Structures are given as structure tokens and as C-alpha cells.
Structure 1
Amino acid sequence: MFNNIPPITRNIIILNVIVFIVTLIMPQLYETLSGFYPFSPNFKSWQIITHMFMHGGYMHILFNMFTLFSFGPVLEQALGEKKYLILYFVSGLGAFFLFNLWNFIEVQQIVSGLESLGLNASELYSKSVIGYSGNMNISATTTEGKELSQQLYDVLRTPMVGASGAIFGVVAAFATLYPNAKIGIMFIPIPMKVKYVLPVVVIGSIYLGVSGNGGGIAHLAHVGGAIVGFILARIWRKHLYRFN
């Protein structure tokens, strides 16, 4: 059965599983390969790509790989290997960009808040370095200052992981090319057309990402991936049959 999966989709799944197993064996690689905020002292250039192969747990990778397995083969066969590969990785890059654009806006607001209290945000940057073992005391003494300091520290220390952004691009492209295809949704017994499901998911992701009620999930990364997938599919749709 696995051999029947088109090669790009199959190899992406294999690579994700291999990286997941390797990081279980060598947990120090997790922080090296995860995608930190670009202005964090923990950010490395390769993380723009490597974060797409990192996952936060068994259910995370299982859900992502099952979704890719469900939608990827159809698109790979329709678009061809080259364009499918472009779709996957550019969607992942779009996810990283939008998520961190919002991070940038939030960081600027936090820094402005700290400066209005007469605090210097730079001390948080040095203390947020992975492996830092120095003095963790901060200059903030008020509740507001401590809360803002914690928020900035969390942004600088918390990486983005997962193939979800790239996979949302795949799903969005599928919905654009095959809008009337019906899919099953958890807790909903009746299959629904994907052209109705995707907008609801995207709108929900925007709300959760902007409101801060995301529960530790990078919802705006999903939106970024979906936007790229939609745009590429719209561009390629006119020439779809030329790929076959």
C-alpha cells in the first residue's frame, strides 16, 4: 500500500518520520531544527526549512501525515512532481512568514509597553538564549512589567514546529482544484464539500491566531500556508491538463 503512494508524498512522509525518530533519540536537535522567531537569539537560517519536519508529539505527526496521505497523492499526480514540491515547500515558507509577521507586530507592542514603563527589553534577549544559565532576575517590578517581560521571553523561546503550514497549502490547493469533492469531518456524520469546509477552517484559524486563544497551536501558520496553496492553485489551474 505504501509503495502505491506517489514518490514525493511518500518521501516527505518518510523524511518526517525519520526526523521525528531522530529527535526522540537526540532531543538536543529539537531546538536546533525548530523554527524560532527570526529576531530571537535562538534563530538559525536553516530553521526556515527544518521546522517543517519537526513535530510536537505522536498525535501531531500522525494527524499531519494522515492529512498529507489523504490529499497529497491526488495533487502530486495532477500537478506533477516539480510543481507539487514547489507547492509544499512554498506553502511552508508562507506559513513561517505570516506566523512571524504577527509575532513581529506583537513583539513591537510588547517592547513599546516595556519602554513606556522605563524598562529595557534587551535584557530579555540575552536571558532567552537556549542553555542560558546566568542570573534570571529582571528589572521589572510591577505586575504589568513582569507580564510583558514574560510575554517577550515566551516569544523568543518558543519555536514553531510542524508540517501543518505546508499541508494546509496542499489542502487549500486541493479545495481550489476540486471544490466539489466531499470529505468527512470529525464529529459531523455527513460528508461536506471541501469548498465549504476550508473557508470555515481558515476563518477559525485567523480568529484563534489573532485572539491569542490558539492553545499553543500556530493557527496563523495554517492560514499562511493556505493562502499560498490557494494562490498557486489558481495560477496553475488554467493549465492543469497540460501537466498530465
Structure 2
Amino acid sequence: MNNKFSGAIKHLIIINVIVFLIPQLLQLDLTNMLALHFPENENFGFWQYVTHMFMHGSFPHILFNMYGLWAFGTPLEQLWGRNKFIFFYFSAGIGAGLIYTLVNYYQFNGIYDQLMGFGLSSGDIQNILNTGGYNEAVITLPTETMRKFYSLYHTPAVGASGAVYGVLVAFGLYFKDAKLALIFFPVPIAAKYFIPVMILGDLFFGMTKYSVGNIAHFAHIGGALIGFIIAYYWKRNHFKSI
């Protein structure tokens, strides 16, 4: 298998690196414009379902995503061809953003309804979202819940992780016996076992309070789900490149 940079992947990595480096060199903050915001937030734009895939919060963030894109995407592009791989990549990334938004909407509206139950008006709730302050004597929800409510509204999502998870799942479907390992778990494990464990881990951390760091677990799950659906259909129908 040829592990050299293939056409689409090379250009995707170049674009990601440019979008990461240029704003830092020019001291520009493009977060409000390009990161994926909650739809009720004033900074939200539909284009962000695409642009957030090229935004990264740190050097390790972009490093691991681009390594995953290269390592697992290269054999898939060689198998499918450039155009089909690009379609797959953007479908997984956009799907990840949509599913992430839907989960956030569900969680946000659940807390919103509880606040309405305390007798607050929509204006009162918007003031909480604008300032972060509220009357604890009236609103008896846990502090953690109110922080989450504020964070859902204000914290944008960035990164190619959702698309890369789709690529990872597709790799596992087509190359299920390939041995994979992580730095913190260096024992090689077949992709058909390794990848499901990673996704289950995201599901666990996404549904509990044990998540470490500001990670959009449901974007990972969304990308994995869309990637699985497309790759499974193509594999079942013996689709390769044209």
C-alpha cells in the first residue's frame, strides 16, 4: 500500500495548515466567522458546517487530525479515487456538525424548559445567556447545569475530528485486520476491535460528566455514524473508484 500523500489528502492538509497558521501570523481571530456556533448564537452561519472543519484550537489538535487523515485516508483515496473521497470526507464532517448541533439543541432546550418552569421569561433567559449571571434563590438548578447551558450557547466547535472519525470507521470496514495503536495504549489491535472501542469511549464520555477537556464527543460520533453509513453502502455494493 502506497503511503505517499495522495491528491485530495495533500490539498486538505495544506488548507488546514494555512487556515491554522495565517491567522496566528497576522494576529487575526476568525473564530466568530468560521467556527461552528450554536444556531441561536448571533455568530452562527450555515457556512460554518464546512468552515469549522478547517479550524483547530492548538498545534496538537491539528497534528493528530492531519496525521489521522493521512494515515487512514490515504488507502481509502487510493481505493475510491479523489472525487469520491472528497465527497465522503465532507459528508462525514458536515454530518458530524449537524448531529453535534442536534444533540446540543436537545440538551439546551431541556435546560431552557426547566428555566421557563421557574417563571422566567424568554428575555430573562436571554439575559442569563448574555451575562452568565442569575438569581440562585429563584433558579435552583445545579451550578454545573447552568454552566453547561451557558457553554452550549457560547462555545463554538472547531476541528476536522468528525470527518477524520468518518475516515477512521471507513478504514476499519475496508481494512479490518490492520493493526492500530495509540501513544497512550501502544499495543497493536486489529482495526475491527480498536475502532469500536474508540467510538464507545466517545459515547461514554459524551453522555457522562467524565469527559477530559473541551472535546465535542458527539461530533466524533456523528462523523463516525455518517462515515459508517456511506462506507458500508459502498462496500456492500462493491464500489471503488471511477
CA distance in structure 2 between the aligned counterparts of 1:212 and 1:98, rounded to whole angstroms: 20
In structure 2, stretches of 5+ residues that fail to align are none
Q: Is the CA contact (8 Å cut-off) linking 2:115 and 2:125 kept in structure 1?
A: no
In structure 1, stretches of 5+ residues that fail to align are 130-135
Secondary structure of the equivalent of 2:181? strand
Q: Is the CA contact (8 Å cut-off) linking 1:55 and 1:161 kept in structure 2?
A: yes
What is the CA distance between 1:121 and its match in structure 2?
4.3
Tell me the equivalent position of 2:7. 7
Q: Structure 1 residue 175 and structure 2 residue 163: aligned?
A: no
CA distance in structure 2 between the aligned counterparts of 1:210 and 1:89, rounded to whole angstroms: 26
What is the CA distance between 1:190 and its match in structure 2?
3.0
Percent of aligned pairs with the same amino acid: 36
Q: Structure 1 residue 211 and structure 2 residue 211: aligned?
A: no
Q: Structure 1 residue 144 and structure 2 residue 145: aligned?
A: no
Tell me the equivalent position of 1:48. 49
Q: Which amino acid aligns with 2:140?
A: E
Alignment of 1:1-244 (within 5 A): 4-24=4-24, 25-125=26-126, 128=129, 136=131, 138=133, 140-142=135-137, 144=140, 147=143, 148-214=145-211, 215-240=213-238, 242-243=240-241
Secondary structure of the equivalent of 2:225? helix
CA distance in structure 1 between the aligned counterparts of 2:237 and 2:141, rounded to whole angstroms: 55
What is the CA distance between 1:4 and its match in structure 2?
3.8
CA distance in structure 2 between the aligned counterparts of 1:151 and 1:90, rounded to whole angstroms: 28
Q: What does the per-residue CA deviation read over 1:145-170, in whole Å, with 9 as the maximum and x for residues that have no partner?
A: 58354432221110011000000000
166-175 vs 95-104, greater mean Cα deviation? 95-104
Q: Which amino acid aligns with 2:135?
A: A
Task: Give the alignment's TM-score, normalised by structure 1.
Answer: 0.88
**Aligned in 2, Cα 1:137/1:62: closer, same or farther, shift over 3 Å?**
closer
Q: Which amino acid aligns with 1:159?
A: P
Q: Which amino acid aligns with 1:140?
A: N
CA distance in structure 2 between the aligned counterparts of 1:62 and 1:53, rounded to whole angstroms: 12
What is the CA distance between 1:61 and its match in structure 2?
0.5
**Aligned in 2, Cα 1:152/1:225: closer, same or farther, shift over 3 Å?**
same
Task: Give the alignment's TM-score, normalised by structure 2.
Answer: 0.89
**Aligned in 2, Cα 1:167/1:189: closer, same or farther, shift over 3 Å?**
closer
CA distance in structure 2 between the aligned counterparts of 1:30 and 1:139, rounded to whole angstroms: 27
**Aligned in 2, Cα 1:120/1:154: closer, same or farther, shift over 3 Å?**
farther
CA distance in structure 2 between the aligned counterparts of 1:113 and 1:50, rounded to whole angstroms: 33
Q: Is the CA contact (8 Å cut-off) linking 1:33 and 1:47 kept in structure 2?
A: yes
Tell me the equivalent position of 1:132. none
CA distance in structure 1 between the aligned counterparts of 2:126 and 2:42, rounded to whole angstroms: 7
CA distance in structure 2 between the aligned counterparts of 1:128 and 1:18, rounded to whole angstroms: 33
How many residues are matched?
Answer: 236
What is the CA distance between 1:116 and its match in structure 2?
1.4
Q: Which amino acid aligns with 1:53?
A: F
What is the CA distance between 1:176 and its match in structure 2?
0.8
CA distance in structure 2 between the aligned counterparts of 1:232 and 1:139, rounded to whole angstroms: 45
Q: Is the CA contact (8 Å cut-off) linking 2:132 and 2:150 kept in structure 1?
A: no
CA distance in structure 2 between the aligned counterparts of 1:101 and 1:10, rounded to whole angstroms: 31
CA distance in structure 2 between the aligned counterparts of 1:122 and 1:193, rounded to whole angstroms: 53
Q: What does the per-residue CA deviation read over 1:181-210, in whole Å, with 9 as the maximum and x for residues that have no partner?
A: 112222334311001011111111011111
CA distance in structure 1 between the aligned counterparts of 2:132 and 2:189, rounded to whole angstroms: 54
**Aligned in 2, Cα 1:242/1:85: closer, same or farther, shift over 3 Å?**
closer
Q: Is the CA contact (8 Å cut-off) linking 2:128 and 2:134 kept in structure 1?
A: no
